A and B are shown apart, each in its own frame.
Chain A
Amino acid sequence: MRSIDIHAHLTPQRFWRATENGGDWHSLRREQDARGRQIAIVGDRRGGLPPKARWTPEERMADMDSLGVDMHVLSPYSGFYNYALDASLAVASSRDSNDEIAEMVTAWPDRFAGLGTLPMQDVNAAVAELERIMTTMGFKGAMIDDKVNGKLLDEPEFLPFWKAAEQMGALILFHQGDGTLVDFRTDKFHLPNSIGNLADRTITFCSLVMGGVMDACPDLKICLSHGGGYTCYNIGRIDRGWQGAPDSPTKPPMPPSEYLRRFHYDCIVYTKESLRFLIDTVGADRVLFGTDWPYDMEFDWPVSWVLSLDNITQEEKDLILWKNLENLLGL
């Protein structure tokens, strides 16, 4: 039995080194707060980084060993999308970040695979960087935010990106970066994360389906992190919305529920009942092992958790833990 983690972030060592003595990394800076916590400063945003985010590849692999995780499909830290920065800075930071992931994959090919980050505020540059990492560096795809400077990914300007991702066979992993919908309501109780992430993923599902992206790109490979948010539980209401939506050139010919199996979903839903619901709604072949390493919302003992579930069959556990990702990414 193996385990491959689709949801494991990397804060580049290049960032840590460049900011060691007050320097900047493509304009990003770092401070330490009164309690000794490391704070990354990106434009006017400040984000706390957990101690594990600083770990070297060797330390990371030791932790993976203790967790029973064989392989991380590395994705960059979502606080470093840098979409709001000048495009040239995002191009440079993306290349730098992706180069570091490539080095890790080259050095430890049986422990790491790569998902890149892309300067999505410049679609042409994003396509170029996706092409660079897919065709010359062996990446499996890229991780992007649910929105780019407020725009959803169904905007026509992104269609060339989707066509390119489809043609390259790149897996696109969706993960919030610059806040979520809930930030517009409240910053209390960690709700921008605990509810906002799930709301944003649901919006992404709906916008890609209702906006015609999934019809325009039938072979596109998408993974919605955090189990796709509320998508599967709320799909009945989403179907009703489709029924009532006026006809438009992009309105899909089938109800959104028919597109559920066009997506993949990680298993970060926290309860065995919700995981069962997800599997029953989208199929066990669509659910991927993910942990959210190294943040506080990660599973404490992710492999043990999956293995311990008494309402999931062993065959389903094997699919989730490694078989689906082997198939999907050719690992």
Chain B
Amino acid sequence: MRSIDIHAHTFTPTMLKTMAAGQEWYGMKYTDAEQRNIFVREGKIVNVHPKCRFTPEERVADMDQMGTEVQVVAIHTPVFGYHLSSADGIAQAREVNDDIAAFAKEAPTRFAGMATLPMQDVDAAIAELDRAVNTLGLKGAELDTVVNGKTWDEPEFLPFFKAAESMGATLFYHPQPQHNLMLERTAKYGLNNSVGVPVEDTLLVAALIYGGVMENCPDLKVCVAHGGGPACFGMGRMDRGWQVRSEARVNITRPPSYYQSRLYYDIVVMSERSLRFLIDQVGIERVVLGSDYPFVGWDPSPTGWLQGLESITQEEKDMILWKNLEKLLGIETTGN
């Protein structure tokens, strides 16, 4: 089926090979002989979904089963290296991005890639984004919703956004699924994933809007995972905050809702009613296919779920499935 999935996670071959040999990979290593979990750093262990190890061939076979034509792959956020030294962060990003580019080389009609960047060093991040986009042919970069505790409205990141805007690179934002803000309150019931993730997404939307990034970089291409969380549902409260609080107006001349249609949002909202609401709030040209592969069990598949929805028209489905992302990323689909 003609489709481009912007939200697909993987690990990379060099990383897996290094750790399988019992060696550390930028301070990370398997915790167990079965290679089920990765120690990332003190207090942070990540479990390994078997499909994140798939070779390109195995992944294509799975995509064929799901009816996904193109996946935009990126390394899974928990192993992002923002916490590393700048030198290690740069080395890790270069290695990962070379590996991600290899996916697209292996099967250019089935894969595109998103880079990871050493955001602890903004100049280096700009240089690596330039290499990733202009040398390796990646479509942009996947980024965490926060950089070592700093939010993206910090002025130090503005040169990065300006650079991404001028390169035409797409920035895909995705929070840490487990080790996110929710842990400050509770580790119970998996709320870090079910609530913490969408709250992180919403805070990211807020940082880019209230921080003036979307105003200062009108052509910046940003896509937020999980439909941007409930940002669209809570936008009225954000507007009210802007109306009544001077600190909410320091960077922007219009209410936050004015800017929300400058971002893109994937469809990982997990209910038809919420997806319909998202489309009605941000506009159909801003909603794109994302699956969160391989972590979300779609019924029967990401594309199949969307096609089965009654409240979305066929033209809207086509825009979500491939038309919007063809334009955004410069990818051509064929449906073959």
- Chain A residues near B194 (CB-CB < 8 A): 206, 234, 237-238, 240-242
How long is the Cα–Cα vector from A202 to B229 in the complex, in angstroms? Answer: 13
Is the CB of A320 closer than 8 A to any CB of chain B? no
Are B206 and A189 in contact, CB atoms less than 8 angstroms apart? yes
A239 proximity list for chain B (CB < 8 A)? 270
Chain B nearest CB: distance from A258 CB in Å?
Answer: 14
The residues of A that contact B248 with a CB separation of less than 8 Å are 189-190, 194
Chain B nearest CB, measured from A291 CB (Å):
12
How many residues does chain B have at the interface if contact means C-beta atoms less than 8 Å apart? 51
* Residues 150-200 of A contacting B (Cβ, < 8 Å): 150, 152, 154, 181-182, 184-186, 188-191, 193-195, 197-199
Taking the closest CB of chain B, its distance from the CB of A191, in whole angstroms, is 6
Contact A236–B269 (Cβ < 8 Å): yes
A residues 218-277 near B (Cβ < 8 Å) are 226, 229-230, 232-242, 244-245, 269-271, 273-274, 277
- The answer, yes or no, to whether B31 is at the interface (CB within 8 Å) is no
What's the nearest-Cβ distance from chain A to residue B76, in Å? 17
Q: Which of A199, A211, A232, A271 contacts B189 (CB 8 A)?
A: A211
**Residues on A with beta carbons closer than 8 Å to the beta carbon of B211:** 189
Contacts of A281 in B (CB 8 A): 273
Contact of A195 among B188, B193, B203, B239 (CB under 8 A): B203
Which residues of chain A have C-beta atoms less than 8 A from B239's C-beta? 270
User: What B residues does A240 contact at CB under 8 A?
Assistant: 194, 270, 296
The answer to whether A198 touches B234 (Cβ under 8 A) is yes
Stretch at the interface among B155-163, B216-224, B274-282, B325-333: B274-282
Q: What distance in Å separates the Cβ of B271 from its nearest Cβ neighbour in chain A?
A: 3
A interface footprint on B209-236 (CB within 8 Å = 1, 0 otherwise)? 0110000000000000010011001111
CB-CB under 8 A from B210, the residues of chain A are: 188-189, 191
The yes or no answer to B32 lying at the interface (CB within 8 A) is no
Which residue from chain A places its CB closest to the CB of B185 in the assembled complex? A181
Residue B17 is within 8 A (CB to CB) of chain A in the complex: no
**Nearest-neighbor residue (CB-CB) of B243 within chain A:** A296
Residues of B with Cβ closer than 8 Å to A? 146, 151, 153, 181-182, 184-186, 188-191, 193-195, 197-199, 202-203, 206-207, 210-211, 226, 229-230, 233-242, 244-245, 247-248, 250, 269-271, 273-274, 277, 280-281, 296
10 pairs of A and B residues whose beta carbons are closest in the complex = A270-B236, A241-B194, A236-B270, A236-B271, A194-B241, A271-B236, A233-B233, A230-B230, A189-B210, A296-B244
Instruction: List 30 contacting pairs A-B, 8 Å CB cutoff, sorted by A.
Output: A152-B186, A181-B199, A186-B207, A188-B247, A189-B153, A189-B211, A190-B241, A191-B203, A193-B241, A194-B241, A195-B203, A195-B206, A206-B191, A207-B188, A207-B191, A229-B234, A233-B233, A233-B274, A234-B198, A234-B229, A234-B274, A236-B274, A240-B194, A241-B194, A241-B195, A244-B190, A270-B239, A273-B280, A274-B233, A297-B244
